[in-house]
Amino acid sequence: NRRLCLVLGDQLSFDLASLNGLDAQRDAVLLVEVMEEARHVPHHPQKIVLIFSAMRHFAQALKQQGFCVHYVTLDDPLNSGSVPGELLRWQSQLQSEEVHLTECGDWRLEHSLRECGLPLQWHSDTRFLCSRDEFSSWAKDKKQLRMEFFYREMRRKSGLLMNIDGTPAGGNWNFDAENRKALPKSVVAPYPARFSADAITQDVLELVRAQFANHYGSVDVFDYPVTHADAQSLWDYFLDFGLAAFGDYQDAMACDEPFLFHARISAALNIGLLDVRQLCGDVESAYLSGRIKLNAAEGFIRQLIGWREYVRGVYWLKMPDYAGGNVFGNSRPLPEFYWTGKTQMNCMRQAIGQSLEYAYAHHIQRLMVTGNFALLAGIAPAEICEWYLAIYMDAFDWVELPNTLGMVMHADGGYLGSKPYCASGQYINRMSDYCRTCVYKVSESTADNACPFNALYWHFIMRHSELLRGNHRMGLTYKNLDRLAESKREALWQRGEMLLAKLDAGESL
């Protein structure tokens, strides 16, 4: 039978399950650039450039391998504007007898394809270690899921950092406690690897500048890899210059240092330019050959086979209801400064500013700065989720939604993580140099120039006391609250109220 294989923009892997077994003479591959996907949230223009350019390069590589590839550009006059629309059009035009595709990364898109009226042959996304079914079996009968236990399963399954007798290398599963160092002044981060835009990328840049000028985010510079070879170079660069210090400083933040020792491979990995098994194997080899310490290797591998696979599992287990989670009943709109970076809070200005400039911020900036602020300020989960999905180059719904709604906002009531990641300005001060040059004073909590995170933190703790006091991991926090003098609690509450009222009035902080 003549097959048509649809390949989506985040499925650019040569070993994609649905590409397996295609006959180059008889079958066809379809890739489509569509407005519905580019606009359903206002994606950062660099993210659109990345995906379209990587798709065009992938199509070219498939053609060079002899495949018959049909590629629909965004500005093709016959483009129907949606993935199901294009699939229907091409299936009919080519009279394909079978349509093959790999599971999507977005429930919304997968649902619309399943409803499109064509009989589809779905393939499991084998680029992940843990299939959707395997995760469901693991989660079955568990009231609360914990990443740590899932991660141990994945370590056993993959054999990564495992001793022959089935115990973890170094005697511990997790060395996170060693991965929380602030950045000393004497330590200098490597210069970031950059990739120049070739003719294909230049064309896409022109298209994106013309079509998405109203989306937030800069597209003045685009230096991200769009081919498998360049993604591999970015990875090699990290192995040589970033990995050894990655563990120690993975939670650190510093002014005007957008990347530090982070690999910045998440976008390339999430669209299929890199392979998770290869990355983990390389990191394990670096440890075994003595080039890096165990905490760096374990910390990196945990992000990939632990957290990344875990959030994907939760997403497919719980969608579509998961997206509606809002356990705190938040309704505050997202402040405008998330889209502009115009705030006096230096930590927020740094994290948002680099997100707009590079479509990138690392996990602690996302979790403990912009995410923490949204949690403390009671932002509606759907609004902050949309922001993360739009602004970050690596954000796809399966990874963004559980990370934001579950981990950042605790809006799923603790299904994904056992406690909210709420913190005052003290945490940001400990992990960064942001506070040193901020107009606000991190040591103050109720004064006029006090760090907004401080009063908002206690306001959050007080206003959700009923929900959170019983959580044993919050016990110390509530003990500290109870120790405060009544007058101090009142002053914190009043300042919190004043800051929230400013947000409600559309003012920046």
Shortest spacing between CB 367 and ligand SF4, in angstroms: 14
CB of 476 to ligand SF4, least distance (A): 21
Q: Which stretch binds ligand SF4 (CB under 6 A): 42-50, 71-79, 451-459, 492-500?
A: 451-459
Q: Indicate whether 34 belongs to the interface with ligand SF4 (CB under 6 A).
A: no
Q: Is 460 in the site for ligand SF4 (CB under 6 A)?
A: no
Residue from 102, 266, 429, 445 in contact with ligand SF4 (CB under 6 A): 429
How many residues line the site for ligand SF4 (CB under 6 A)?
Answer: 14
By beta-carbon proximity to ligand SF4, the closer residue of 204 and 451 is: 451
4, two tokens: 């048509």
Contact 378, 328 (CB under 8 A): yes
Measured CA to CA in angstroms, residue 14 lies from 65, 96, 154 at distances of 10, 22, 24
Q: Does position 453 bind ligand SF4 by CB under 6 A?
A: yes
Task: Report the alpha-carbon distance of residue 248 to residue 251 in Å, rounded.
Answer: 8
Site for ligand SF4 contains 377 (CB under 6 A) = no
CB of residue 378 to ligand SF4, shortest distance in Å: 17
Distance in angstroms (rounded) separating the CA atoms of residues 181 and 189: 14
Three-state secondary structure call for residue 198? coil
Separation of alpha carbons 278 and 294, rounded Å: 18
492 binds ligand SF4 (CB under 6 A): no
354 near ligand SF4, judged by CB under 6 A = no
Q: Which stretch binds ligand SF4 (CB under 6 A): 97-105, 261-269, 275-283, 447-455?
A: 447-455
448 three-class SS: coil
Q: Is 428 in the site for ligand SF4 (CB under 6 A)?
A: yes
**Among 17, 245, 347, 500, contact with ligand SF4 (rule: CB under 6 A):** 347
Closest Cα to residue 481, out of 460, 496, 501, 500?
460
Span of 247-255, 303-311, 398-406, 428-436 interacting with ligand SF4 by CB under 6 A: 428-436
The residue from 438, 455, 456, 492 that contacts ligand SF4 (CB under 6 A) is: 438
Classify residue 228 by its DSSP letter. H
Give the range of 125-133, 148-156, 404-412, 450-458 binding ligand SF4 by CB under 6 A. 450-458
Give 358 or 440: the residue with its C-beta nearer to ligand SF4: 440
The backbone torsions φ and ψ at residue 220, rounded to the nearest 5 degrees and listed phi first, read -65, -40
Say whether residue 32 binds ligand SF4 (CB under 6 A).
no
- DSSP per position, 258-319: SSTT----HHHHHTTSS-HHHHHHHHHHHHHTTSS-HHHHHHHHIIIIIIIHHHHHHHHHHT
Q: Which is nearer to ligand SF4, 418 or 426 (CB)?
A: 426
Contact window for ligand SF4 (CB under 6 A) among 257-265, 308-316, 380-388, 445-453: 445-453
Report yes or no: 103 and 124 within 8 Å, Cβ to Cβ: yes
Burial class (CB in 10 A: 0-12, 13-18, 19+), 176: middle
The two tokens of residue 298 are 């374990």
The residue ranges that bind ligand SF4 (CB under 6 A) are: 345-347, 425, 428-429, 434-435, 438, 440, 442, 451-453
